[in-house]
Amino acid sequence: MTKPSGLLLLLLLLLTGACADAPPPTTQPLTTHKIVVTSEQGDRQSPMPNVTFKTGTATGTVISIFPDSTKQTLVGIGTSFTESSAFVLAHLEPKKRLELMRKIYGEDGANFSLTRTHIGSCDFSVEGKYSYAARPDDSALTSFSIAPDEAGFDPAIYSGIKDAGYDLLPMIQEALAIKKAQQDQDLKIISSAWTAPAWMKDNEAWYIPGSPENNWQGEAGALKPQYVDTYANYLVKYLDAYADAGVDIWGLTPVNEPHGNGGNWESMNFSPESQNEFIKSHLGPRLAASRHKNTKLLVFDQNRDGVEEWTDLIFADPVTAPLVHGIAVHWYASTVKVYEETFDRVQARFPNHAIIHTEGCIDNLGTDAPGGINDPVGFKESNWFGNDAFWWNPNASDWAYSASWAGPGVVDHPLYTPVHRYARNIIVSLDHWVSGWVDWNIALDREGGPNHVGNFCGAPIMIDTENGEIYYTPIFDVLAQFSRSIRPGDMAVWTKQDRGGLDADTLHACATINADGLLSVQLLNTSKVAVAYKLQIAEWYAEVIIPANAVQTVWVRL
């Protein structure tokens, strides 16, 4: 896809009988199509000057792109619908909310193309502990109803509600309406259940927390044998009900985080063996016999460090493998590691199955870290709201930061920079076979909720529900920048990164290409100084500067 050399053009002219005394043709050098940057200095998808390529082989810090060597097809970048997000948005006047939703899903906004939602309640439900089959022992599911997703929020109970009819399902329908108004724009939705209805489980509970001294010993519970097939039917009924409401579900995971979460919120256990049997003997056949036979089934849906245990069993099963599209992963095993070597091994063994990241967020928001937060103004509640500096510096800690939890593993959970965690994870993931990347809640209140168990987290958009102030965090612009330049159907291409004398974590890059030959290169500079690098494409290279602490996108039309 690179331009032919002048000598090659001359030979072609001679071979086709062109006039011998015609002037030799000249080649036009490549020029970047567009460059944008989001940075700590205040850039938010801001344009940078284009640069012209030279012929030759670059040395020093070089990002080499091989656009003729393609890898996986991308399905998109996006964020998630949750009841908590819908609740926060219900505090906005409908006109103001629609403007915000257009910034999220509109073609002139982030234009997110891949998303996720929950089946029944999760921790990011306002009150939690609900399902679509509330009547115990209803094995025929005659009581099934998705009414909880469209019930709205009573202003007499929840102060500040501006649109009482807004809820999870209306939020999804509003996003789809925005997409429908845009030609050839779709939104792929992945649905995940946090648990089956409590009466289907052996502990007959949504979750059972552990003791205060060790809350990771709580219980999630597993399906009772007599309700395994009922649960498969429950999931298909959900797909039916949503389709009848105008919402087609693209992907489905049998349960979120099958290893459990210590009984801290809605959860249910599967082992690789039990999920394999559930898919092979129950869910797979039911999907195949339904109108949802094209729904993409994804297994696991938990942390990246557990991927191979699941793929080695399920993808290697000759009966189950054809029923499964791929594996869903989260990022909570580490705030710094991406587990790219794991993805490389899985892809080498199972090249026909996809890897999709379905959840990641700034978890544990608002919990002071041992030793304090690295913030020049000192840690205080809500210092992330309206404060871009929080997101661009190592101020965040996760669930495993405390040495009392992580022990020797604390090296994987240091204080971290939120923007770096997002950009590094997305860039390295896409460079190592991940085909889609989804953030968790798109919008939360200024404290990182509501969350019915106090599991507060950061979100790309945070809203003060008392006064309606909307804060677009730098994470929103980073995700929007990726989404606008990495579209469904694009293909990842091979890259080679020679960082010269730079630290291994200073500069990260990946690249994708679309059917029209538009190459998109994503870069992250984690350092506090600008970095000069060479962008090499075939026999051409350009000298580019990425500003300090920045995420940069470079487009080149080939």
Least confident stretch, 97-106, 394-403, 510-519: 394-403
Q: Find the mean pLDDT for residues 164-185.
A: 94
How far separated are the first and last CA of the chain, in Å rounded?
6
Query: What pLDDT is stored for residue 424 in this prediction?
Result: 98
Q: Please tell me the distance from the alpha carbon of residue 387 to that of residue 126, in angstroms, as a whole number.
A: 26
Q: Find the mean pLDDT for residues 481-487.
A: 98
Q: Measured in whole angstroms, how far is the alpha carbon of residue 157 from the centre of its chain?
A: 33
The token duo for 162 is 């501006």
215-253 pLDDT tens trace: 656 789 999 999 999 999 999 999 999 999 999 999 999
321 CB contacts (<8 Å, ≥6 apart)?
A: 314, 315, 350, 353
Q: Find out whether 224 and 202 touch, Cβ atoms under 8 Å.
A: yes
Query: What pLDDT is stored for residue 395 in this prediction?
Result: 86
pLDDT band at 403 (very low <50, low <70, confident <90, very high): low
317-338 pLDDT tens trace: 999 999 999 999 999 999 999 9
- Say whether pLDDT at 16 is over 70: no
Q: Find the mean pLDDT for residues 91-98.
A: 98
Query: What pLDDT is stored for residue 305 in this prediction?
Result: 95
Q: Which residue has the higher pLDDT, 193 or 365?
A: 193
pTM of the model: 0.93
- Say whether pLDDT at 355 is over 60: yes
CA distances 309 to 268, 283, 314, Å, are 18, 21, 9
Q: Find the mean pLDDT for residues 274-287.
A: 98
- Structural domains for the chain: 30-71+492-557 (2.60.40.1180), 75-488 (3.20.20.80)
Which residue in this structure is represented by tokens 């259940």? 193
